[in-house]
């Protein structure tokens, strides 16, 4: 189970904070992400071949929008939730101010 506010670390160095939690697990491909502070468990873990560059400040969400994370440190990760790839969340369009 992932809770809002928990921080996770990937083998590729990406760090993220959960902004909307759920009853599942995060992985980098097949490697489980670790809570911040327990990243020693990632020693020797390989970065997924499908990993992408995750930029600081980007948000990723599940297809149904039930779970989302905010990247707090850039790195590489093939971010998955319960085995399903998470998608880059597009910014909301704001109305024009003119």
pLDDT of res. 90: 87
Question: Do residues 33 and 86 touch, judged by C-beta distance below 8 A?
Answer: no
In a domain? residue 94: no
Domain membership flag for residue 30: yes
Beta bridge partners of 22: 2
Per residue of the chain (98 residues), give pLDDT as tens.
899 999 999 999 999 999 999 999 999 999 999 999 887 778 778 888 899 999 999 999 999 999 999 999 999 999 999 999 999 998 888 888 87
Q: Is residue 76 part of a domain?
A: yes
* Residue 14 included in any domain: yes
H helices present in the chain, as ranges: none
Asked whether residue 2 is domain-assigned, the answer is no
| Residue 62 forms part of a structural domain | yes
- Whole-model pTM: value is 0.88
Domain that residue 13 falls in: 7-88
- Output the pLDDT for position 48: 86
Tell me, yes or no, whether 52 lies in a domain.
yes
Into how many domains does the chain fold? 1
């Amino acid at each position: 189970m992932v809770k809002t506010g928990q921080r996770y670390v990937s083998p590729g160095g990406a760090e993220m904070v959960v902004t909307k939690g759920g009853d599942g697990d995060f992985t980098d491909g097949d490697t489980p992400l670790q809570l911040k502070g327990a990243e020693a468990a990632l020693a020797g873990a390989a970065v997924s071949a499908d990993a992408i560059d995750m930029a600081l400040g980007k948000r990723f969400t599940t297809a149904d929008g039930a779970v989302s994370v905010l990247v707090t440190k850039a790195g590489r990760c093939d971010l998955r939730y319960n085995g399903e790839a998470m998608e880059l969340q597009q910014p909301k369009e704001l109305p024009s101010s003119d």
